[in-house]
Structure 1
């Protein structure tokens, strides 16, 4: 979970993980009937752990995703807190082609295309990144006069990461699942973990199972106080991740750190090389 579940602002800065969310209807967790996997516990690494059902769910989803999904499109909605600042929601149409391996080598490189819709200061921005191309850099342009030239940026460089928590190379549902599993396996070494499943959650009209993990005591080895992952029941894949840090005052509210959602998700669209090429005549690159 989409630490999920780590992107672009300014003249030539590219906030690439993007996002989010005007009209996203998330059914409140309090209104759901939860299956309580565990209360606060302090089990050992080798014993049964409350995270085990969550890890099994994420692992099964990842296996299905890697075997059956070649590419997908979505309305990607996102915001993340950086240096104490939580910006407005961002929205972008996204195309993602999944990496495919053959004999341990990359047969199909990961590809990402983003077309930003809102807020107004990012409208018209386009970004392309293809694994192994352009020396690993992403290519971007702004709208209007600032869009007269393309800009090449290191995804991990200062400009690309300004105001971002994650580089463009971390975007996507597969990366989210991998991160969720990595984080869960690490947190499984410790106790102080409450896990619940809400079977009747919704993202807009999409029926979901919502997984909620809480670490009630702040520890240096935990990344979050509360995290929620919404799994589309029909597709068996996560379409929303949200995370909060611990309250800053006794009895206070948790602090929203980041949220990412894939709306109107369509899988196996059949993207070609042109979908990840700045020469595509449907795009506005120069």
Structure 2
């Protein structure tokens, strides 16, 4: 089986390789845009858990995700990253989008929210979205996000319902579901549900890499197409140093006999910096570093 997308996976007998092609965009330091191949060699350690009779194949994956979620909620307050995304909508798979992202995780003490979930996005590429800025803060602005485009279209700020037509155009998920914590919660919910639906193939690849970041890659395959399954193949890359997922990708089943799986969505967090001390001003349209009007 060969999967063609921005992440190419090849399996040949006992050997396999993973090649991830990500277009690198200008970061805050304005580095030159380029394209880089990230490879996992055929020597990568692979652990199949489908043969463990004492537990469901998804159980080790669920333990890994739950441990990561606990670590995040206890130790990670906020982070900055370059967010890379694309998702298939109405059958069309667009170009990869890149954005600088700032995220402050929700914090609750004694039943009271001490820090609301907060998001800032500054889009870098492609040209059609470059310069767009978006802010959403849980419980603020009547639940709306505020956004502006670049150029003349950016002369005014627009308040949008995160689940409304304009905000969701070209999206599968609203801004309220962005972030690593939400990804982990979704993984756990999906894995717990799929665990009740029968067997699946689960494998761990311990020497995967996203750029220069050492990762453990978790792969789940549902061979039988069922309405209860969200995907045919899903892969999650856990940063081995930070103990958090930094990439998720999924494919649906081939549309023809002998065809290739269909890439549905992929999300990557590059250059992740944890606990940078984000403040309310980082999620305020009055921040002088931003271009809100």
Greater strand fraction, Structure 1 or Structure 2: 2
Query: Is the CA contact (8 Å cut-off) linking 2:40 and 2:207 kept in structure 1?
Result: no
Are 2:290 and 1:283 aligned?
Answer: yes
**Does 1:194 pair with 2:201?**
yes
Q: Secondary structure at the match of 1:160?
A: helix
Output aligned runs, 1:233-272, within 5 Å: 233-272=240-279
Return closer, same or farther for 1:267/1:109 CA change in 2, 3 Å cut-off: same
Q: Contact 2:57/2:199 (CA < 8 Å) preserved in 1?
A: no
Question: Following TM superposition, by how much is the alpha carbon of 1:21 offset from its aligned partner in structure 2, in angstroms?
Answer: 4.2
Q: For residues 260 and 215 of structure 1, what CA distance do their matches in structure 2 show?
A: 20
2:166 to 141, 152, 159: 159
Alignment partner, residue 4 of structure 1: none
Corresponding residue for residue 114 of structure 1:
121
In structure 2, distance between residues paired with 1:31 and 1:213? 20
Does 1 or 2 have the higher relative contact order (CA < 8 Å, sep 6+)? 1
Question: 2:183: which partner in 1?
Answer: 176
> Aligned pair 1:35/2:42, yes or no?
no
Q: In the alignment, is the contact (CA less than 8 A) between 1:25 and 1:202 conserved in 2?
A: no
For residues 20-99 of structure 1, the aligned pairs below 5 Å read: 21-22=23-24, 23=35, 25-28=37-40, 32-38=44-50, 48-99=55-106
Change (3 A) 1:259 1:192: same
- What is the rounded CA distance, in whole Å, between the counterparts of 1:281 and 1:67 in structure 2? 32
Misfit runs of 4+, over 4 Å:
28-31
**Structure 2, unpaired ranges of 5+:** 1-21, 25-34
Q: Give the structure-2-normalised TM-score.
A: 0.86
List runs of 5+ in structure 1 lacking aligned partners: 1-19
Partner in structure 2 of residue 9 of structure 1: none
Aligned pair partner of 2:133 in 126, 135, 148: 126
More displaced 10-residue stretch of structure 1: 20-29 or 153-162: 20-29
CA contact (8 A) 1:21 1:91 kept: no
Give 2:10's aligned residue: none
Secondary structure of 2:64's counterpart equals: helix
Q: CA 1:25/1:61 → structure 2, altered by over 3 Å: closer, same or farther?
A: farther
Q: How many residues are treated as equivalent by the alignment?
A: 262
Residue 223 of structure 1: aligned partner? 230
TM-score by length of 1: 0.88
Name the stretch that deviates more: 103-112 or 158-167.
103-112
Distance in 2 (alpha carbons) for counterparts of 1:133 and 1:190: 39
CA distance in 1 between counterparts of 2:41 and 2:146 reads: 39
**Using the alignment, how far apart are the partners of 1:255 and 1:279 within structure 2?**
42
